[in-house]
Amino acid sequence: MKLFFSWRKRSVDNEAKNNDDLKRNVQVTAHKETIEELTSSSRLNVNPHIGLDADDAKQRLVTHGMNMLTPPKHTPAWIKFLKELSGFFSLLLWGGALLCFVGYSIDGSEDHLFLGIVLVVVVVVTGIFSFVQNSKSESLMNSFKSMLPPKVKVLRGGTTDEVVSTKIVPGDIVFVEAGDLIPADIRVLECSDNFQVDNAALTGESEPQKRSSVCTHDDPLETTNLCFFGTLAPEGSCKAVVIETGDRTVMGRVAALAMSTKKEQTPINKEIHHFILVISGIALFLGVLFFLLSIGIGTPFIESLVFTIGIIVANVPEGLLATVTVCLTLTAKRMHAKKVLVKNLEGVETLGSTSCICSDKTGTLTMNVMTVAQVVYGGLNAFITEDAPSSFTGGKKTYDTTNLCFQKLLRCAALCNVATFTEGSKWKYKDDGETKELDEFGNPIPIPFKGVVAQGVDTYNWKPVGNASECAMIKLVQSESSTPRDEYDVDSIRSSHPVKYTIPFNSKNKYQVHVHEDTSSGRHVVLMKGAPERILDRCTHAVIGGKIVELDENERINIIEQQEALSANGLRCLGFAEKELDTNFYNNEFKYAAENDEFYSCNFPIGDAPSDVIDSHGKTQNPQSTGGLVFLGMFALIDPPRPAVPGAVKRCQTAGIVVIMVTGDHPVTAQAIAFKCGILWSKTRGDMIKDNIKFGRTFGSADYEHPDDAEAIVVPGSELSPDMKESDWDFILNHRQVVFARTSPQQKLIIVENCQRLGHIVAVTGDGVNDSPAIKKADIGIAMGISGSEVSKQAADMILLDDDFGSIVNGVEEGRLIFDNLKKSIAYTIQSNIPEITPFLAFIIFAIPLPLTTFLILAIDLGTDMIPAISMASEQPEADIMQRRPRTKSDRLVTPAMIQFSYGYIGMIQALAGFFTYMVVMNDYGYKPQILFNRGNSDAFGHQPFFCKFSGGHYANLAGDINEGLNPSIDPPTREYPFWFEGYDGKVVDCGYAYNDFLSDGSPTQLFDFRNSETYTETNGKHTATIESYEAMEQNHYFEYIPWRGRTSSYWDDSMLFHNTNDANKGGNLAQNTNTYFRGRAAGLWSLCEQTSDPSCENQFCGDRGSAIVRGVEVPAAALNADTSRFSTKHCPDCDDE
């Protein structure tokens, strides 16, 4: 045993250690090594010009394993199902069912049997439902598989071949082309100038990142010479060496972290668990207490046990799980109508409990679409900055389309650009997807470029393809086109300006050059686009006031200042310039070239600074390349906030919810978007420090801004580590406005954990693979339905189908509403416990007939109570529901105040009302309250004749006729006049049952027939009354009591009074069920006397032995005779009269 616990402890410690290792940022050194070091025999041992040979590749495949993510350990489905059947609530219901079956085995009550079966069905159905919702882990890992390309170009043995991606190994030399998925973690050996990777899935960066063969940063996620498994290469190509495969890749670590992250127990689950503990405690306490009281007052052990079972079952909330599930399902349906898909029903309420939202930026707060937000162009006197329509500017458009400089700027943006719109998005097509629809004149029907206006911002129907920045440019140009083929239509501009020559963008020059012909004038024009500082340096003139003027120093400073202001706001700036060429020299016969055998520069003007440098090949600069360009302006681009985000963030803050941005993007961009979204609204700690330095402020000076007073903070990921002290985390998270930037997937997870440590109920929103560990760890994970990766959707509890962050606010409101409504439902449900328990208490304490059976309790809990409880889910929210602060952990679903209200007030009122109704109904049917006490603590009431002593009154027949000749005080009722009618002066003096004066030890024979006295042979081991005990009651003027009031009941049936035993057809097939006629006692009317030796038995109670009318038989030999001194008999010569 000691060894087992030691092993278990080591296993837990190792698991915790592995999780801590996964939470650390990637530790890679391959990017810092030279290619020679990396490919040497001590490292990857590969010749980059030949690659691995086939045998070496096979051996490495055995050593390192397949290039795939290891699936999680598979748990058999039947074990998962058993786990669903053994949850805490399920165990409570199993216990209730077991008690019901025990009760059935004791007293044979079908009520107990039926209730036990129903409880089992409830547990099984609930378990099936939970089982279907379970097992996300396999789906989560399967979603990572889509990130692996099917085949990869690999250099092996000096030959290039395609290899299945799962079989590549460390050391393989691979080739990546535009559009390929990166097959593993690779180190770039050589690449094209335009090679880029889209790291959005891994880091959240909104733009593709340039890649090269040079190490540019110590951080492996920042350097340009590494590419990672699962990312996309949208442009360019490269040759690279594989450094890691499978689980050892960065994405593999993210997958392992997502799989190892334990899902937090939802608040509603915790609350229901707490509720069940409270109710179970009450049930067990009352059950044990009254079992002891019942034993103490002399109640037989078996009856006390059955009574205890009734008490416990009455407290088991059989309908609670169904009520909660239906309420959550109804809410989930309402949320689906609001474009929110709920995967985990309990997540509905969790969102309402949320006190902190950690949101990714790219694709969640922003549109994940690069957009031109502002433009800079030459105004009347100087260059000015104007707004372009986007959510970043609130949909405003302030530029002047009649301005000549702006027009030239649009032309340059359309021509110095290779992005296009897909044809399929521009025309209406038939269902076959290939044939265009035609109008009545036979012309293709175009689709409008602009779509609907969403919250003041235009949307676009046409789909661009190409570089994200260039796509943004052609959308702005096309947005000014009112009709196809007008002056701003991109296709029209390009068709009227055919391209003559291009120089692609490269990281060295940081510009792109196109030469086009203006067909209207025949003049060739050079168009340049690139980094603003590079473009501006190449310009000598600019367009200001509608004409080309010399670009002086003041205007240069003005342009630079505007560019710096835009960059400070997180916008990416691109500069534009042009140069119209001399038609006498630059015409259609001219051969454009970037270099030739003599010159290393262009043979046309691109603004090169004059240089006397001679390169290594002996080439010099071409004088033609030095001609200055004309500066046209700048485009400022950004991935803008979604239109609904600022309002949604404001509503969250009004509701007391902290919104934290957690992004992998750059701090400047993150800060700019955070201000636009309303996540930041005051000066940040970093800005205070910068301003203090900039303006020479020192501590103690009047204008010094103390950084510790800042309410806002922007924290780059480089300042975070798993080893940070809790006090450091507390310092960061105690700021009212927080932004985390350049964070890794591991850091996002740690941020969520620390928010939870501070007591927050955390919701995490995201769309990328890098968000999946944090999404899974969160109390409620939310993924984007449109732009979100499959990995993030699988890890999430909730999916925003329209990618609208504003839908989260709707979810918060619904979550708070369902919590309020569940409190109402539970308060309504548990208040019936008191009126369900008190009848059992009255039954055992006052010995009244049991007013409420366990079967009726089940009918109430799963029947009449459930629909009103579920209807609470349709209650409308209170007016201030979104002005409240999030509920605290002390605000429980079930509180002492609720218990007091439901049990102490409403429950007691219902119980009193129930007892009042019980007494009134019993009184109306002839059983007055005073005769009920001490008459119900056995199974006799309603099952055996009830004898009473009368004072006055009359006997009546079925028709209601009164027999004046019989005196109920001294005369017994007859078959013709069995009812006692109280009249004006009659009253019941006292009541009781005939004494059960012997016990048999047998069981009912299967041949029993109530019409045949020969079959009256056994009593099933029960105490049984005899004809002599009945006669003793009559001797003392206690006569069988059948109240006339009962005859007036709508439920009365004459066959309940007696059967004509001479009629063999009476009773039909029911004769086989002894309980139908003789509940509570053995079949037949027994006698302690030998009937054949008693000549006085010739009366209505006796008959010839074996006759169909015989109601009594001799005592079986096995019968246990009671002490005859305890009752009086007559007509029995063997007994002494008393």
List, by residue number, the catalytic residues.
Answer: 360
Residue 683 neighbours by CB distance under 10 Å: 16
115-132 burial by CB neighbour count: b if 16+ within 10 A, else e? bbebbbebbeebbeebbe
Residue 980 neighbours by CB distance under 10 Å: 24
Assign residue 839 a region: left if phi > 0, alpha if psi is -120 to 50, beta otherwise? alpha
**CA pair distance 558, 377, nearest whole angstrom:** 12
Residue 78 neighbours by CB distance under 10 Å: 9
**CA pair distance 82, 131, nearest whole angstrom:** 9
Q: In what order do the strands lie in the sheet with 987-992?
A: 987-992, 947-951, 1039-1040
Nearest to 822 by CA among 737, 755, 894, 773: 894
| 8 Å CB contact between 591 and 598 | no
Q: Give the side-chain half-sphere CA count within 13 A for 700.
A: 0
**CA pair distance 514, 1081, nearest whole angstrom:** 107
| 8 Å CB contact between 188 and 212 | yes
N-term to C-term CA, the chain: 73
The alpha carbon dihedral of 995, 1119, 1010, 1092 has a sign of negative
**CA pair distance 485, 495, nearest whole angstrom:** 10
**CA pair distance 899, 827, nearest whole angstrom:** 8
Assign residue 683 a region: left if phi > 0, alpha if psi is -120 to 50, beta otherwise? beta
Sequence-separated (6 or more) residues with CB below 8 Å from residue 8: none
- How is 742-769 classified by DSSP, letter by letter? S--HHHHHHHHHHHHHTT--EEEEE-SG
Instruction: Tell me if residue 255 falls in helix, strand or coil.
Output: helix
* Structure token digits, residue 158: 């000096």
| 8 Å CB contact between 387 and 655 | no
**CA pair distance 173, 242, nearest whole angstrom:** 6
Long-range contacts of residues 323-328, Cβ cutoff 8 Å, at least 24 apart: 323/825, 323/829, 323/866, 323/869, 323/870, 324/268, 324/272, 324/822, 324/825, 325/126, 325/129, 326/870, 326/873, 327/818, 327/821, 327/822, 327/825, 327/870, 327/872, 327/873, 328/268, 328/818
| 8 Å CB contact between 127 and 90 | yes
Sequence-separated (6 or more) residues with CB below 8 Å from residue 551: 539, 540, 541, 542, 631
| 8 Å CB contact between 1084 and 1112 | yes
Q: 473 vs 559, 565, 566, CA distance in Å?
A: 20, 21, 17
Nearest to 835 by CA among 931, 893, 905: 905
To 10 degrees, what angle do helices 250-260 and 137-145 make?
Answer: 170
Query: H/E element holding 919?
Result: helix 908-924
Identity at 126, one-letter amino acid code: T
- Taking only Cα atoms into account, the Rg of the chain, rounded to an integer number of angstroms, comes to 45
